[in-house]
Amino acid sequence: MRTFHPPRRVLLGPGPSEVSSRVLLAGARPTIGHLDPAFIGLMDEIKGGLTRLFRAPQHACLPLPGPGTAGMEAAIMNLLEPGQAIVVAVNGVFGRRMGEMAERAGAEVIRVEHAMGEPVDPARVEAALWARGAKALAFVHAETSTGVVSDPGPLCALAREHGALSIVDCVTSLGGIPVDAAGWGADVLYSGTQKCLSAPPGLSPFALGPRAREAVAARKTRARTWLYDFDLLMGYWSGTGGRSYHHTAPINALYSLHEALVALEEEGVEQAFARHRRVHEGFVAGVEALGLRLPVAPAARLPQLNVVEAPLGVDEARARALMLDRFGVEIGGGLGDWAGRVWRVGLMGASATPGHVRLFLEAMASALNAQGHASNVQVALDAADARFGPV
């Protein structure tokens, strides 16, 4: 074996996003013990940072060891018991994953299916909640497979009206657009570190509200997970009479997450949302000037995840390969029904800058021209720059 040196890439796919040097270097600081008093101080700061970011003063907030899927698994396995019903709104790949997971928890899953590119429709969700006494309602705030945002406020309110707990997937939203656990009345929220937080992948910020905590305490059966059993985890993350060993925390990954939260607070969370919005607007102007179409309606578009249709006669995978090879630019392909038909371009966290958009436009124009699809890069750059404003 030899030392691995990754190639230099510009990460503009659906995640991971670019990680700044300060966040990477934080992860390289000396490893200390996971029960060291200094480390416990850092854990408390991370909990505080996540509480502010989720806007969840009444929730227990902590980062789970594992990727975004760990948060999904923790939410579903802690809330559901065998035989209970859950309504899952499916408008892309990640809603579908939630449904599959709930089946593994032994739950009865009522899926409310939507067409790709559509936000979750509260009226259809309400009909499903009326039909069955569901224990929970699960949906995705920012569906990464389609670039669509759904409005969590009305959905969480419906769950509450029907006596169900709400589970909100915020993997791609946290840090890029407002997440408001308290304002929405959301019961459980989870995210990932590798999207708009721009920390390395491998941790899942998680928030459990008071109603959800009561439901966990009232379970008749033990959760079908040990690692993500909420009560056991809390013994380590907030044990009142001292913290007890549960698992060996990913110490250095937590240093990086801490630094990413510090960087976000230094920038200002509202400023970070505004940056994502502005960069998205420049991106849309640029790709439209290249003659490309975005299939998602403007009001439902996520600023941090942009879906662009590949024009007729252009092989989308070949275009991606050229962009990676000649420019080091990584973008994503389509998933599900959109596989082979669209590109997914992430402008998340540290990857959400005007410079990233300009590089994307150069690389995309080159990839289109290589396949005989004439495109004028200067027109696209000018259109994007006009939205970004003066230098």
Ligand X SMILES: Cc1ncc(COP(=O)(O)O)c(C=O)c1O
Residues at the site binding ligand X, with contacts judged by CB under 6 A: 14-15, 67-69, 72, 94, 140, 144, 169, 171-172, 192, 201
Provide the residue type at 67 as one letter. P
Q: How far is the CB of 288 from ligand X (least distance, A)?
A: 25
Q: Which ranges of 328-372 would DSSP assign to H, the alpha helix?
A: 354-370
Q: How far is the CB of 323 from ligand X (least distance, A)?
A: 20
CB closer to ligand X out of 125 and 290: 125
Q: How far is the CB of 24 from ligand X (least distance, A)?
A: 18
Q: How far is the CB of 389 from ligand X (least distance, A)?
A: 30
* Closest CA relative to residue 79, chosen from 209, 196, 175: 209
Q: How far is CA 267 from the centre of its chain?
A: 20
Q: How many CB atoms lie within 10 A of CB 187?
A: 28
CA distance 22 to 368: 35
Q: Is 185 helix (H, G, I), strand (E, B) or coil?
A: coil
Q: How far is the CB of 171 from ligand X (least distance, A)?
A: 4
CA distance 131 to 161: 14
Which position's Cβ is nearest ligand X?
A: 68
* Burial of residue 223, with CB atoms counted within 10 A of its CB: 0-12 exposed, 13-18 middle, 19 or more buried: buried
Count of helices and strands (H, E) across the chain: 14, 14
CB closer to ligand X out of 51 and 144: 144
CB closer to ligand X out of 148 and 289: 148
DSSP letter (8 states) at residue 168: E
Sheet holding 60-65, edge to edge: 60-65, 203-208, 188-190, 165-169, 136-140, 85-90, 108-113
- What are residue 364's phi and psi, to 5 degrees? -65, -45
CB closer to ligand X out of 15 and 176: 15
* Closest CA relative to residue 69, chosen from 182, 185, 173, 193: 193
CB closer to ligand X out of 351 and 375: 351
CB closer to ligand X out of 306 and 375: 306
CB closer to ligand X out of 239 and 336: 336
Element (H, E) at 261: helix 251-267
* Closest CA relative to residue 249, chosen from 28, 36, 48: 36
In this structure, what token pair is assigned to residue 346? 């992430």
CB closer to ligand X out of 14 and 286: 14
Q: How far is the CB of 266 from ligand X (least distance, A)?
A: 25
Q: How far is the CB of 190 from ligand X (least distance, A)?
A: 8
Q: How far is the CB of 358 from ligand X (least distance, A)?
A: 25
